[in-house]
Each structure stands twice: as C-alpha cells, then as structure tokens.
Structure 1
Amino acid sequence: MFTIKTTTAQQTEDIGLKLASLVTPNDVILLDGDLGAGKTTLTKGLAQGLGIKRYVKSPTFTIIHEYHEGRMPLYHMDVYRLEDGGGDDLGWDEYFFGGGVSVIEWSQYIQDYLPDTFLRIKLERRDEQADERQLTFQAQGTHYQQLLETIKEQLHE
C-alpha cells in the first residue's frame, strides 16, 4: 500500500495516464471515494493513456460505458445506483475477463461480484479550496502488487 497527494485535477489525471502504460488485458481497478473525489478524473487520464479519444464521463445513469478504440477496451463502470442490489444480470465476468481493463467506481456496491484480485485506489478530498486529493493504492494479488510497485516508482520519479 502507498499514498500520494495531488493538488490539481490535472495531477490526478496524470496518475491515470501513467497507470495506462502499465495495465494489461483483464486488469480490474477499483476507484472508491465520495462524490467529487476524482474517480472519473483519474479514469479520463487512463483512457487518454490507452489512446481513447472519446470524451469520458461518469456512467452514473447507464452503469457501464465501453470504449473500444484504444490499445485495449476500457470498461468504465459506476455502480453507485446498485447500492440496493440489482446487478445480478449485468455479466460482470464478461467485463472482468473480456480482454480489456475494468474500472469500477463505488466498487463496494458489487463486492460479491468482484474477482479475487484487483488494484484498489481510494480517493479522498483533503482541501476543497486547494483541490487537494489523497490517493491510497492497495493491491490484492501478486500481479497487482507488482503493478503497485511499478506505479509507485514512476510516481516518485
């Protein structure tokens, strides 16, 4: 586990951009944090790093946005609306093992459907006036531990 702070939206987006160079097919990234914490901002950077040109916005009302034009598909999920259940028929495994990278906002609401291994990034607002965020990275599984070590090195350069 490690923590890094950002003071601008662009710095948060840049972390996603760096992460994009490291992800591989079937990677699962969980983004947890309150409203306005920077989850979609980080995803925008990841999409840009994957070569996705379309505008990335939170899929709050559609639950899942798929982007196929990058070096691998991006499955961007906002499962906030599933707080009270209802995700049984969404075919989670087809996304998690569909050859792309799955980014899940509000992952706690589909805990029972998540794979055993993943990278979790918790985003917290520290100072709204200064746009300061704290990002805490946690790895579950050997592959994600290696990914975490690599991103940690890159972010501290």
Structure 2
Amino acid sequence: MEAPHNPADAVPAPAAAAGLAVESAEEMRDLGRRLAKLLRPGDLVMLTGELGAGKTTLTRGLGEGLGVRGAVTSPTFVIARVHPPLTGGPALVHVDAYRLGGGLDEMEDLDLDVSLPDSVVVVEWGDGKVEDLSDDRLHVVIHRVVGDTDDDRRTVTLTGYGARWTETDLRSL
C-alpha cells in the first residue's frame, strides 16, 4: 500500500543559505550589485520583507549590476516592468505581486514562464505565488533590525533552492 502524499514532501530543501547585516540603503544597493554578478538568464529571485524593508532598493542595485535600461522603481501599480539590457546580459523582469491574490493563476497572466529562460526575474511579495516557476530559485528575506535607532539597518537572509545555488555563491556576497 502506497503512503499518502504529504504536500510538505514537495517543498525542496534549501541547497544553500547565508545571512548578512546591511547598515544603509546604499549598502542594500551594493548588495544588489554584488548579487547581480552571480545571476544569469533563467534565475528567479523572490524578495520578502515588510513594506519599506528595502526590496526595491535591492532590485535597483540588481539593475545597476546587470546593466539594464531604465530606472528601477517599484512596479506596485503596473505589477511588472521589463528592463532590457544595455549590454549583452539578461533583461531584468521586476514584478510586484503584492496586489495579486491567489497563487500561480494570476501570475500566469504575466507570462513569467515565457520571460524566465532569457531574463532574471525578481518578484517582490512572491511567497506562495511563484515557487512553481522554477525548482532553482533564490529567496531573499529582508528584516528591519528591531529596537535599533538607525532605521536603515537590516538583516538579509539568502536561501538558494535547487542545484543552481551553492554555499560558496551565497557566502561570497
């Protein structure tokens, strides 16, 4: 007799993880620029953090590091923006899934699966909505440092899923 299917069994275990302290908005952008050096076409990056945590600031740094066209701003009201490359690198597809309700159904309307092979796709607020797009993804969680008088201090946890990500990659940041 076959054991009943447990949905938790389908969640892949993290392949790599790293934690960082970020002291300012400029350091968050710099982290994005450094992370961009590791990214390649087909990468999916999920960003999690409360409002104002620094998700868009990190994405600005990614855009600078990838050398894409256009100012990277929050796509909250347009849902998604595509920033084409200025050089031979991948485009940056920046998605804000905050206003999207349920799962992959609404995300499918954005055709991210079509963009993913040739682009770096960054999704803010993507938890529970985009994991099925790729077995290999990087999840970045940003937390404000509680009780600190400097409002810009953050802790950033990067967790790689799938064979794409290694401890060496993430610790190099």
Residue in 1 that maps onto 2:126: 107
Contact conserved, 2:69 with 2:84, CA < 8 A, in 1?
Answer: no
The range that moved more, 47-56 or 10-19, is: 47-56
Contact conserved, 1:29 with 1:120, CA < 8 A, in 2?
Answer: yes
Output the CA distance in 1 between the equivalents of 2:165 and 2:25. Answer: 25
Residue in 2 that maps onto 1:125: 144
Residue in 1 that maps onto 2:10: none
Residue in 1 that maps onto 2:163: 142
Output the CA distance in 2 between the equivalents of 1:59 and 1:88. Answer: 17
Residue in 1 that maps onto 2:6: none
- Residues 36-56 of structure 1: CA distance to partner in whole angstroms, max 9, x if unpaired? 111000000010011124211
Choose which of 72, 75, 96 in structure 1 pairs with 2:90.
72
Contact conserved, 1:5 with 1:135, CA < 8 A, in 2?
Answer: yes
Output the CA distance in 2 between the equivalents of 1:21 and 1:117. Answer: 17
- The answer for unaligned runs of 5 or more in structure 2 is 1-16
**Segments of 4+ moved more than 6 angstroms:** none
Output the CA distance in 2 between the equivalents of 1:17 and 1:83. Answer: 31
1:13 aligned partner, one-letter code: R
Residue in 1 that maps onto 2:111: 91
Larger fraction in helix: 1
Output the CA distance in 2 between the equivalents of 1:59 and 1:100. Answer: 17
Are 1:18 and 2:34 counterparts?
Answer: yes
- The answer for unaligned runs of 5 or more in structure 1 is none
Residue in 2 that maps onto 1:54: 70
What is the TM-score of this pair, normalised by structure 1? Answer: 0.88
- How many pairs are equivalent? 151
Output the CA distance in 2 between the equivalents of 1:49 and 1:89. Answer: 28
The range that moved more, 105-114 or 37-46, is: 105-114
